[in-house]
Structure 1
């Protein structure tokens, strides 16, 4: 039996239209992938209807907002479900997402192909977001530019580097804000950072919640292995920026040499 395939098209509002040819089913099932060893808990079913010439379509509208994670896509046929292989994916509407002002909360959906060749949807759901624009490494200096969505950057804002291991040591940096009150940049050139992994946040105002720096607003579901940066050598350490499995931006600090 041939494994069914589904193509999909995404529009600028986040709507995803799944299309199948000669589908022998009545709906699509999106399953939030559970953590290893945990049962599945969150499912979302879409009606599948004919659209002519032996084709069928199911549409995931902007609502409901999906929980953050990875959603596997299945074809439903009675009580049976079959995981779908990917067809053509039109993600052009996502490419310029970082240029558009995003609603709050930020809800992002990116269809992608899993490592074992199946169709899935990567989702993010965040109260506010700091979208990374550029990461520049020059000598011993790392310079990052970003833009806030769902928040502004008044006086008193700070960028925070929080060490993931140990006691969660925090270093504070002063961002340079642009005239629009949303875009900002900062540099990392600290020779005294402890070895390990440092996660990066922006705090728009004293006492406000920290907002994670990440790159989410385009068509790349997994950028960890795609966007690879050199390290900045500062004294006896090397500071290398990298994207995590969640597309958040972090720093890896190692001994130089």
Structure 2
């Protein structure tokens, strides 16, 4: 009699545990796991979505954990290029099968504060797709400007952030600016000076915290109808270093629908407009300027 399928009849499920360094542990149910493993060939397979070239794939060995389950580990030191990675389980020569999400312990990702380092910051957040499958959202940033509180006023946006993955954050931020780049014409740029947090050298922040204020009127001056999007970057005074502003250090894979902000009315020269911040599909921080709805005029 042949052994039952390694992962059972249905799609196998995986529990995920995240650590504060950016690593992930996957625990899979394996109802057909034999008592003696012999020549073990099971693997967790990550496939990057949307690649037009040869499929980009990362294979992690799956090993029995002694409790009837299989375990694979994705350490933070394993480079996983930015993007969305679909998760599969493979056994011997069988076609890899999609995993479905089990329990997710992502507590270590909430309010994550990475330690000092100049290596790229690895962020991986597991999530369920709209079809109920398990996928990962991966970022690899260095340097990284983590967006914090955003305060909207009738005249502009005041933002707070924290800089990671540079040798000397205080020196990097000295004279730095936040740069708004117009997406339809990247040569059009508006800047706002950065203010380092007071007492940064003595309160344990190591000079990493900063704030800035961008005025709506400066962005709306380039608006001539339709939708304008301004991408926000943190740039050094001499222009040799830059970091995309984004919100990555938590357990939310897609922030666009979660962190929403009201648009503020702007009296643009072209027509009545409105402006406000939002997070893109990649969790990067941007500002949109658009026509004010007639009912709001």
Q: TM-score range by the shorter chain?
A: over 0.9
Offset of 1:83 from its aligned partner? 0.7
Superposition TM-score, scaled by structure 1 size: 0.92
**Match for residue 118 of structure 1 among 133, 145, 150:** 133
Offset of 1:245 from its aligned partner? 0.5
Q: Does 1:84 align with 2:61?
A: no
TM-superposition CA deviations, 1:217-255 (whole Å, max 9, x none):
111111011111111223333211000000000000123
Offset of 1:205 from its aligned partner? 2.7
**Match for residue 33 of structure 1 among 40, 44, 49:** 49
Offset of 1:127 from its aligned partner? 2.0
> Does structure 1 conserve the Cα–Cα contact (< 8 Å) formed by 2:190 and 2:218?
no
Offset of 1:49 from its aligned partner? 1.1
Offset of 1:41 from its aligned partner? 2.8
Superposition TM-score, scaled by structure 2 size: 0.80
SS in 1 for 2:217: coil
2-structure distance, mates of 1:225, 1:190: 23
> Does structure 2 conserve the Cα–Cα contact (< 8 Å) formed by 1:142 and 1:232?
no
**Match for residue 29 of structure 2 among 10, 21, 26:** 21
**Match for residue 254 of structure 2 among 215, 222, 227:** 222
> Does structure 2 conserve the Cα–Cα contact (< 8 Å) formed by 1:31 and 1:40?
no
Offset of 1:161 from its aligned partner? 0.5
Larger strand percent:
1
Q: Which residue of 2 aligns with 1:175?
A: 194
SS in 2 for 1:146: strand
> Does structure 2 conserve the Cα–Cα contact (< 8 Å) formed by 1:130 and 1:202?
yes
Q: Which residue of 1 aligns with 2:285?
A: 249
TM-superposition CA deviations, 1:11-64 (whole Å, max 9, x none):
1122211011125571111111124xx244321111111112321111112221
Offset of 1:70 from its aligned partner? 1.0
1-structure distance, mates of 2:131, 2:190: 40
**Match for residue 87 of structure 2 among 73, 76, 80:** 73
2-structure distance, mates of 1:64, 1:130: 22
> Does structure 2 conserve the Cα–Cα contact (< 8 Å) formed by 1:141 and 1:234?
no
Q: Which residue of 1 aligns with 2:215?
A: 189
TM-superposition CA deviations, 1:156-181 (whole Å, max 9, x none):
21111100003531011111111423
Q: Which residue of 1 aligns with 2:174?
A: 155
2-structure distance, mates of 1:69, 1:102: 25
1-structure distance, mates of 2:124, 2:100: 18
Offset of 1:209 from its aligned partner? 2.6
1-structure distance, mates of 2:56, 2:145: 27
1-structure distance, mates of 2:151, 2:107: 26
**Aligned-pair Cα RMSD in Å:** 1.8
Unaligned runs of 5+ in 2: 1-8, 33-40, 201-206
Greater Cα shift, 240-249 or 4-13 = 4-13
2-structure distance, mates of 1:54, 1:29: 20
- Structure 2 vs 1, CA of residues 156 and 82 (structure 1 numbering), >3 Å: closer, same or farther? same
Count of equivalent residues = 254
- Structure 2 vs 1, CA of residues 190 and 240 (structure 1 numbering), >3 Å: closer, same or farther? closer
> Does structure 2 conserve the Cα–Cα contact (< 8 Å) formed by 1:32 and 1:40?
no
